């Protein structure tokens, strides 16, 4: 069972956070009207217990679908940011009947190449030796643009450093071993909204453009003056796009 925030009424949106973050990164999305926001913390992140054993992106997908089951929610819009997007696509493969619509934010459908995979295993060793600060230090500069206010940067750092070593290392392994979801994306028949920060260096806008082009009728929103956490840095633009999308599903 995951620690899950559940607020609002309307179309259920299952929000799946990125790495090494928590549901707190979606705080500014809780006010989107006309929706019930179900926001779990993945194992070892936020206030969820660390995982008991090895996890995979598919296992994360099963766990977040379990949060819908616990609430008797048959179908939801799955909104995944970065690693959460990998989970949303895995859920689409596992249980397409549960997916009413898909929102892919600052993410990609492709798997890691050998270099990226090797880098993840190196990071696992560093985190085991020196703690989660290693990841927070290396990722923070890519999460927000240089123009982001200092308190926003501090909040994102605090979210990252609140993650457990077990949560972070198991997620790194899960991401390294994740399957390519190109075929899953190509098979999507529900409404799709793809969002990316203009300056996202982790999953650049080219990834978003490719994903949107793969699905007929998909909507693409490139958020100006935002980096990887476009929903944190520019909540007004992102929330407006999501509110409009949700009205249409
Ligand atoms: C994330 O924000 O979830 C991660 O940067 C994704 C990744 O490392 O592939």
Q: How far is the CA of 175 from the centre of ligand 1 (A)?
A: 8
Beta strands in 49-120 (DSSP E): 76-81, 99-105
Q: How far is the CA of 18 from the centre of ligand 1 (A)?
A: 6
pTM score above 0.85 = yes
197-224 tens-digit pLDDT: 999 999 999 999 999 999 999 999 999 9
pLDDT tens by residue, 66-99: 999 999 999 999 999 999 999 999 999 999 999 9
Residue whose C-alpha is closest to residue 200's, from 134, 108, 124, 77: 108
Ligand 1 in contact with 229 (CB < 6 A)? no
**Mutation choice for ligand 1 from 80, 82, 174, CB with most ligand atoms inside 8 A:** 82
How many H-runs (helices) and E-runs (strands) does the chain carry? 10, 7
Output the average pLDDT for the chain: 98
- Dihedral (CA of 63, 205, 232, 152) sign: positive
Q: Is 191 in the pocket of ligand 1 (CB under 6 A)?
A: no
At residue 10, does pLDDT exceed 90? yes
CA of 196 to the centre of ligand 1 (A): 13
Which ligand 1 atom sits nearest the alpha carbon of residue 81? 3
What burial class does residue 99 get, using C-beta atoms within 10 Å of its C-beta: 0-12 exposed, 13-18 middle, 19+ buried?
buried
- Ligand 1 contact via 232 beta carbon (within 6 Å): no
């Amino acid at each position: 069972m995951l620690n899950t925030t559940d607020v609002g009424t309307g179309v259920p949106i299952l929000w799946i956070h990125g790495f090494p973050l928590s549901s707190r990164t979606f705080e500014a999305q809780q006010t989107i009207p006309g929706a019930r926001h179900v926001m779990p913390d993945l194992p070892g992140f936020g206030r969820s217990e660390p995982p008991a054993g090895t996890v995979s992106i598919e296992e994360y997908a099963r766990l977040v679908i379990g949060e819908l089951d616990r609430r008797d929610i048959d179908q939801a819009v799955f909104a995944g940011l970065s690693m959460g997007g990998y989970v949303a696509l895995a859920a689409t493969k596992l249980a397409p009947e549960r997916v009413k619509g898909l929102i892919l934010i600052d993410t990609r459908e492709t798997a890691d190449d050998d270099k990226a995979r090797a880098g993840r295993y190196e990071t696992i060793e560093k985190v085991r030796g020196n703690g989660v600060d290693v990841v927070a230090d290396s990722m923070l500069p890519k999460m927000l643009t240089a123009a982001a206010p200092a308190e926003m940067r501090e909040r994102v750092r605090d979210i990252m450093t609140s993650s457990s070593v077990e949560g972070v290392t198991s997620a790194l392994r899960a991401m390294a071993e994740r399957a390519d979801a190109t075929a899953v994306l190509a098979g999507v028949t529900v409404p799709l909204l793809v969002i990316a920060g203009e300056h996202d260096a982790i999953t650049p806008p080219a990834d978003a453009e490719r994903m949107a082009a793969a699905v007929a009728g998909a909507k693409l929103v490139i958020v100006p003056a935002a980096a990887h956490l476009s929903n944190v840095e520019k909540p007004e633009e992102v929330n407006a796009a999501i509110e409009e999308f949700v009205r249409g599903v």
